[in-house]
């Protein structure tokens, strides 16, 4: 089975985010980046499928130069090779067009990706890619196992419900976080990654001219829906103040 795993690099979860001078994007200066967690799970599923079925796992990322780090990590975790499509900020449709072009080029059986990115959160790139490729797809995958005519996917529904879906290959599966345990790069893995292929190409090399479908005009912190009372001071003072307020103001103690 030839599997392409789409990996996005996003700001590290703990990073302090600042809006840029133009007011429409995150200031990247000094920002730390990490692999989008749902995509890390997608890679884990790909590695598990390869272990069961044999085949090849290709890590694919669309983004600026820094994105290569996410691909090096994927190689260290076990991907066989990587493809980096250099691009500036694209919307979900732009990324999906690139993913679809690479999947076609590679004639891959399966495209795996996280359900949602932790930065823009469009939650649709793999589904758009499935639409562009004209192949069946499913989303919110927690378990993916080879089945008689393709794959059986155990997927999450709302409110604690589950469902299994069978789909033929080629296909696209969007992965939900948490289905299996994440592995991390070992020292040996990092060493071996250095010998693996990481191919870099430009969007233009794919014959694509990408126009944005959605433009972000501005970014701002959310408006407070409640007036939050912030309690300040030493831990003991804050604790005492909180208990007083919960008892006398909120009447919940």
Partner 1 sequence: MSKVLVVLESGGASLTRASFEALTAAHMLGAHVTAVVLGADTAAPATAAAFCKVERVVRLEHSLLATYSADGWIAALEPLIRTEAPSFVLFPHSYQTRDFAPALAVRFGQMLVSDVVTIAEGPVFTRPVQDGRLMARCRMTGAEPGFISVQAGAFAAAVPGDVAAPITALVPELAASAIRTTASQPFRAKSVEVDLASATRIVSVGRGIQGQENLPLIEALVQALHAELAASRPVCDAGWVSADRQVGSSGQTVAPRLYLAVGISGATQHLQGMRGASCIVAINRDASAPIFEVADYGIVGDLFEVVPAITQALRSA
DSSP string over 24-47 = SSB--TT--EEE-HHHHHHHHHHH
**What minimum distance in Å lies between the beta carbon of 184 and partner 1?**
13
**What minimum distance in Å lies between the beta carbon of 43 and partner 1?**
16
Say whether residue 162 binds partner 1 (CB under 8 A): yes
**What minimum distance in Å lies between the beta carbon of 225 and partner 1?**
6
Q: Which is nearer to partner 1, 188 or 215 (CB)?
A: 215
What is d(CA 146, CA 126) in angstroms, rounded to the nearest whole number? Answer: 20
Return the residues of window 45-74 that contact partner 1 according to CB under 8 A.
none
Contacts of 96 (CB under 8 A, 6+ apart): 124, 125, 126, 128, 129, 131, 132
From candidates 89, 119, 189, 192, binder to partner 1 by CB under 8 A: 119
Say whether residue 111 binds partner 1 (CB under 8 A): no
From candidates 54, 88, 160, 207, binder to partner 1 by CB under 8 A: 160
Say whether residue 248 binds partner 1 (CB under 8 A): no
Return the residues of window 176-235 that contact partner 1 according to CB under 8 A.
176-178, 211-226, 228-232, 235
Q: At what angle are helices 37-53 and 68-77 packed, to 10 degrees?
A: 40
Q: Which is nearer to partner 1, 197 or 231 (CB)?
A: 231
Say whether residue 136 binds partner 1 (CB under 8 A): yes
Say whether residue 167 binds partner 1 (CB under 8 A): yes
Strand partners, 81: 58
Q: How buried is 56 (Cβ within 10 angstroms: 0-12 exposed, 13-18 middle, 19+ buried)?
A: middle
Question: Phi/psi at 82 (nearest 5 deg)?
Answer: -140, 150
Say whether residue 98 binds partner 1 (CB under 8 A): no
From candidates 20, 32, 164, 186, binder to partner 1 by CB under 8 A: 164
Q: Which is nearer to partner 1, 55 or 123 (CB)?
A: 123
**What minimum distance in Å lies between the beta carbon of 71 and partner 1?**
22
**What minimum distance in Å lies between the beta carbon of 182 and partner 1?**
9
Give the 3-state secondary structure of residue 58: strand
What is d(CA 184, CA 40) in angstroms, rounded to the nearest whole number? Answer: 10
Could you tell me the end-to-end alpha-carbon distance of the chain, in angstroms, rounded to an integer? 58
Cα angle: 225, vertex 231, 232; to 5 degrees: 135
Stretch of 8-16, 28-36, 55-63, 69-77 contacting partner 1, by CB under 8 A:
8-16
């Amino acid at each position: 089975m030839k599997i392409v795993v789409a990996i996005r690099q996003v700001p590290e979860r703990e990073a302090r985010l600042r809006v840029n001078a133009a007011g429409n994007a995150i200031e990247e200066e000094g920002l730390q980046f990490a692999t989008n967690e749902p995509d890390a799970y997608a890679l884990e599923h790909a590695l598990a499928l390869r272990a069961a079925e044999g085949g090849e796992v290709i890590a694919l990322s669309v983004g600026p130069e820094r994105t290569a780090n996410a691909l090096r990590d994927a190689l260290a975790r076990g991907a066989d090779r990587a493809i980096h499509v250099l691009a500036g900020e694209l919307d979900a449709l732009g990324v999906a067009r690139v993913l679809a072009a690479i999947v076609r080029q590679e004639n891959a059986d399966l495209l795996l990706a996280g359900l949602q990115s932790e930065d823009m959160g469009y939650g649709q790139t793999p589904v758009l890619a499935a639409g562009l490729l004209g192949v069946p797809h499913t989303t919110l995958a927690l378990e993916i196992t080879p089945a008689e005519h393709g794959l059986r996917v155990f997927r999450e529904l709302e409110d604690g419900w589950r469902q299994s879906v069978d789909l033929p290959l080629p296909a696209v599966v969007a992965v939900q976080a948490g289905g299996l345990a994440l592995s991390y790069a070992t020292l040996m893995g990092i060493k071996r990654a250095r010998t693996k292929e990481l191919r870099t190409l430009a969007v233009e090399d794919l014959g694509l001219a990408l126009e944005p479908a959605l433009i972000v005009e501005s970014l701002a912190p959310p408006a407070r829906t409640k007036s939050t009372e912030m309690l300040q001071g030493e831990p003991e003072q804050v604790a005492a103040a909180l208990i007083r307020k919960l008892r006398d103001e909120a009447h919940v103690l």
